[in-house]
């Protein structure tokens, strides 16, 4: 898998390169500023991009902006965004254009190598990967939304769906059967008013409802 990295912190940048190459991935480009990011993505068209949200020169949202523009110019480009802190607006904006092949992780998650690589693989395959802390904060902040109709167990299932887990993993995490998970997910779809369609698309819509519900 070919991965382009955009990260201004030299130590983390080199750590990412070492981690990814050790896992058998190729890193064709590494950049350290916002203006360098988009040209690198357009030139190399990687299988997935790993981008810091805040980068020089302004340390605001340069990485996120580059990711959004890159996904417009290279439809379907998988992007995994890293952030130092939970930024609810960044997560919602990143997934607002479609939750296929996108991830949002706190930088601390990189140190948990297996979790990070698993999230990267899910994003590269077109799935989603949201940091559990990001999902938890989104859930606790939001009120007066369609999510209010969900039971505590259904909210747990949706939370794990938003993190990018499949039914089997959700079942193991909650110590329930796959059949129970399928039933909870069906209830989530029903309560969120999601129309019958292919299950993968409905999962994406559920996650987007979860993120965008005010």
Q: How far apart are CA 210 and CA 91, in angstroms?
A: 11
Q: How far apart are CA 199 and CA 196, in angstroms?
A: 8
What b/e string do you get for 2-30 counting C-beta neighbours within 10 Å, with b at 16 or more? bbbbbbbeeebbeebbebbeeeebebebb
Report the pLDDT value the prediction gives residue 195, as an integer from 0 to 100: 62
Q: What's the average model confidence in pLDDT over 203-212?
A: 66
Structure letter (DSSP) for residue 166: -
Report the pLDDT value the prediction gives residue 213, as an integer from 0 to 100: 56
Report the pLDDT value the prediction gives residue 39, as an integer from 0 to 100: 94
Confidence grade of residue 197 (pLDDT, cut at 50, 70, 90): low
Report the pLDDT value the prediction gives residue 214, as an integer from 0 to 100: 41
């Amino acid at each position: 898998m070919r991965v382009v990295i955009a990260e201004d912190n030299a130590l983390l940048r080199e750590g990412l390169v070492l981690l990814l190459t050790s896992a058998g991935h190729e890193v064709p480009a590494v950049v350290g500023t916002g203006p360098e990011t988009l040209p690198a993505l357009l030139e190399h068209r990687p299988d997935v991009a790993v981008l810091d949200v805040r980068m020089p020169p302004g340390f605001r949202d340069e990485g996120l902006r580059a990711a959004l523009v890159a996904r417009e110019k290279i439809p379907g480009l998988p992007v995994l965004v890293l952030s130092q802190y939970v930024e609810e607006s960044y997560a919602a904006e990143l997934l607002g254009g479609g939750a296929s092949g996108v991830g949002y992780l706190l930088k601390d998650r990189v140190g948990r190598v297996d979790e990070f690589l698993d999230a990267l693989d899910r994003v590269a395959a077109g799935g989603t990967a949201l940091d559990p802390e990001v999902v938890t904060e989104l859930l606790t902040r939001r009120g007066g939304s369609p999510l209010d109709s969900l039971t505590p167990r259904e909210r747990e299932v949706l939370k794990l769906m938003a993190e990018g887990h499949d039914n089997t993993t959700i079942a193991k995490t909650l110590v329930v059967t796959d059949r129970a998970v399928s039933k909870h997910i069906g209830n989530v779809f029903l309560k969120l008013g999601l129309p019958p369609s292919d299950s993968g698309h409905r999962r994406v819509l559920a996650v987007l409802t979860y993120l965008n519900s005010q």
